Amino acid sequence: MGMEQKRIKLPEIKRQNKLPIVLNKQEVRDLLKAPKYLKHRLMLGLMYGCGLRSYELCNLLQSDIDFERKTVFVKKKKGSRDRYLPLSAHLIRGLKRYLETEHPITYLFNSQVTKQGEPLPITVRAIQWVIKENRSKVATQKKFTAHTLRHSYATHLLEAGLNIISLKELLGHAHIETTMVYLHVANTGSSKKFSPLDTLFSR
């Protein structure tokens, strides 16, 4: 007599979101110094220094930069909110020199112009190209993209003591849950992670 095979059904485990890749500060320094041209260094510098998404960098106008207030204005898109971001003194110096020598039109970073002579902004593909051209100049085995600079921005701010609510506003996240992923990455505060080997031989 054949018996009906019974299978044990295990409860489904909810899949954990993939944690972002984060560059350490030395890797960021190496990447920002790698490009030959000032324009490309500033593009990467703004993505890390302001935590910009690629399309946000592409859409930046010269009028969005306020050197006196040291801010960058980022316009909302797809449900996100308008936000002002702090602009580093390092970027201010570089941007002033870039504007004086390159004379971009309307947008902060120009690509080409239309047949009618209207200025066009750089594209996401152009940003990807800059990353690809300079990735090999960074001493790391990490496979990083342009968005890795945004992840690194968020993680480094948390590790420097910024609270999660302020970080949410800087990143332009609609929901705090999106921002909280960086709590699993940052090594900070009372939850600072360490290896037991570091205490095993201490006296």
Of the listed 40, 150, 151, 156, which one is catalytic?
150
Strand (E) or helix (H) holding 147: helix 146-159
Per-residue pLDDT at 4: 53
User: Residue 53 catalytic?
Assistant: yes
Q: Which of 40, 41, 53, 168 is catalytic?
A: 53
- Does the active-site annotation cover 173? yes
Residue range 63-112, pLDDT digits in tens: 999 999 999 999 987 656 899 999 999 999 999 999 999 999 999 999 97
**Are the C-beta atoms of residues 127 and 58 closer than 8 Å to each other?**
yes
- 1.10.275.10, 3.40.50.620, 1.10.443.10, 3.40.190.10: CATH of 25-190: 1.10.443.10
For residues 46 and 169, give the distance between their C-alpha atoms in angstroms, rounded to a whole number. 17
What value, to the nearest 5°, has the Cα angle with vertex 57 and ends 101 and 29? 75
- In the residue annotation, 142 being an active-site residue is answered as no
Tens of pLDDT along 152-192?
Answer: 999 999 999 999 999 999 999 988 989 999 988 898 765 67
156 is catalytic: no
User: Catalytic residue among 15, 78, 115, 143, which?
Assistant: 78
**pTM listed for this prediction:** 0.85
What's the rounded Cα separation, in Å, for the pair 72 and 74? Answer: 6
